């Protein structure tokens, strides 16, 4: 008989987690102002809030921590990281930062100014925040198929070339600092971008003299989907595909807490020496010296190993297969999810799940809270709360999709946990008709409100 699939690793350390009662969870939510970010980790049984910095490192990474060079300038660990990044991406210059949003802050301080527009494929929350806080505008040019959860388009992260060219035609070149391609595209459901689309975006952008940059937090997962789904790519290595992907851009920002397989860190990688020199000044101001940029040497050493491990097929097959396993379980229960299943998370369509909850009462947040009350599982809203208010009108922005993201930490949970999650979500689904009220905001900050917002029951 054919042997079943088994993970390409064995477990060396475990961490105890504790289940709570529904009564405890309901009180904790009240204390947290119905914001899942405000919960203590000890109050969470299975934590799917994010896949950012929540994964398990390998023995090789833990070993690298012990050999990290903590020199302030020119450390050996920086050299190791620089060489690894250059080998995988082809970019010449490297600026470490303490995490991905810090990389955005440094790079956008150089490139983005008041009145600019930044086209791309569904910019994520901190990206849009860094653009809008500079009084610029993010313009979503994602293909329309991304907003139909049942459309099985293999590359729902793709940029619509007609939408992109319209941006290029309708704005002066001086107002478009770059086109940003997010790989994979988190806001559309962890969906990948094809090599063909990247190449076309690069060619079109070159015609108008607009540079292309990548938001690369999940670039290795994107390369895996290219290998599995794009014609002619099946026999290539992940590292080879990554090198070609990045050849279609001028640079990248990276949250290393995702496909870097570490708990903290980020970086900017570039080919343009002038941009590198300007960004170096902001790195020194905001982060630290240019050869550590807010990272300890030991963390750079672990990241160098993590980038190498994350760009191997066996690891990616194990990681993405687990996400797909959970997604297929939910589909079996009839639960509406974004299809095909993305790379790092399963995204539930709350508008179809909770049709009786008004959009003004935040159905995705409501669903996330119900899942927590049911089973102690923490998820995150990717909907109207995250979309925030229009910076000029201060009215709610209602995105095309109201999603609850179940982000799976890397190398952390077993498929038994996935079965538990699926059963819990199904329990909520079976009583969905009883849920007709959502939540109202009692306090919110000026920007990126979903992290700290206070809510009350409607």
Catalytic residue numbers read: 72, 124-125, 215, 217, 258, 450
> How does DSSP assign 77-133, residue by residue?
HHHHHHHHHHHHH--SEEEEESSHHHHHHHHHHHH--TT-EEEESS--HHHHHHHHT
DSSP for residue 2 = P
Percent helix, strand and coil across the chain, each to the nearest 5: 45, 15, 40
From the CB of residue 417, how many other CB atoms can be counted at a distance below 10 Å?
A: 18
Q: What is the dihedral of CA 139, 140, 141, 145, to 10 degrees?
A: -160
Distance CA 430, CA 92 (A): 54
Judge contact between 33 and 363, C-beta under 8 A.
Answer: no
Going from the C-alpha of 109 to that of each of 255, 379, 399, the distances in angstroms are 17, 32, 27
DSSP 3-state of 254: strand
Give per-residue burial for 194-222: e unless 16+ CB within 10 Å, then b: bbebbebbbebbeeeebbbbbbbbbbbbb
Distance CA 296, CA 65 (A): 10
From the CB of residue 437, how many other CB atoms can be counted at a distance below 10 Å?
A: 12
Judge contact between 125 and 450, C-beta under 8 A.
Answer: yes
Judge contact between 223 and 229, C-beta under 8 A.
Answer: no
């Amino acid at each position: 008989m054919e042997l079943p699939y088994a993970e390409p690793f064995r477990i060396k350390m475990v961490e105890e987690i504790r289940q709570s009662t529904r009564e405890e969870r309901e009180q904790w939510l009240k204390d947290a102002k119905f914001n899942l970010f405000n919960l203590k980790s000890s109050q969470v049984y299975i934590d799917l809030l994010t896949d950012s910095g929540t994964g398990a490192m390998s023995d090789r990474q833990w070993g690298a921590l012990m050999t990290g060079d903590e020199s302030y300038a020119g450390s050996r660990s920086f050299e190791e990281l620089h060489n690894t990044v250059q080998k995988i991406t082809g970019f010449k210059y490297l600026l470490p930062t303490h995490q991905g949003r810090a990389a955005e802050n440094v790079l956008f301080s150089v490139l983005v100014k008041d009145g600019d527009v930044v086209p791309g494929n569904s910019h994520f929350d901190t990206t849009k925040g860094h653009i809008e806080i500079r009084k610029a505008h993010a313009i979503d040019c994602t293909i329309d198929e991304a907003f139909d959860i049942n459309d099985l388009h293999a590359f729902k992260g793709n940029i619509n070339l007609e939408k992109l060219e319209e941006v290029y035609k309708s704005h002066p070149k001086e107002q478009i600092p770059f086109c940003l391609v997010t790989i994979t595209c988190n806001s559309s459901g962890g969906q990948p971008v094809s090599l063909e689309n990247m190449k076309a975006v690069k060619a079109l952008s070159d015609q108008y003299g607009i540079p292309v940059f990548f938001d690369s937090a999940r670039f290795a997962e994107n390369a895996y989907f290219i290998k599995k789904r794009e014609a002619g790519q099946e026999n290539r290595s992940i590292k080879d595909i990554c090198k070609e992907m990045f050849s279609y851009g001028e640079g990248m920002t990276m949250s290393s807490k995702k496909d870097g397989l570490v708990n903290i860190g980020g970086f900017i990688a570039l080919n343009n020496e002038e941009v590198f020199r300007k960004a170096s000044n902001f790195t020194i101001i905001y982060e630290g010296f240019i050869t550590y940029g807010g990272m300890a040497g030991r963390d750079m050493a672990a990241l160098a190993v993590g980038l190498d491990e994350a760009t191997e097929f066996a690891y990616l097959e194990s990681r993405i297969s687990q996400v797909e396993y959970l997604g297929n379980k939910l589909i079996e229960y009839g639960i509406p999810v974004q299809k095909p299943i993305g790379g790092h998370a399963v995204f539930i369509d709350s508008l179809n799940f909770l049709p009786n909850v008004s959009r003004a009462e935040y159905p995705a947040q409501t669903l996330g809270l119900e899942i927590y009350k049911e089973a102690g599982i923490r998820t995150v809203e990717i909907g109207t709360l995250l979309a925030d208010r229009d910076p000029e009108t201060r009215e709610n922005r209602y995105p095309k999709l109201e999603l609850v993201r179940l982000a799976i930490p890397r190398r952390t949970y077993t498929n038994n946990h996935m079965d538990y999650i699926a059963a819990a979500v199904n329990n909520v689904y079976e009583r969905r008709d009883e849920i007709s009220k959502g939540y109202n905001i009692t306090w919110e900050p000026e920007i990126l409100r979903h992290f700290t917002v206070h809510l009350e029951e409607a």
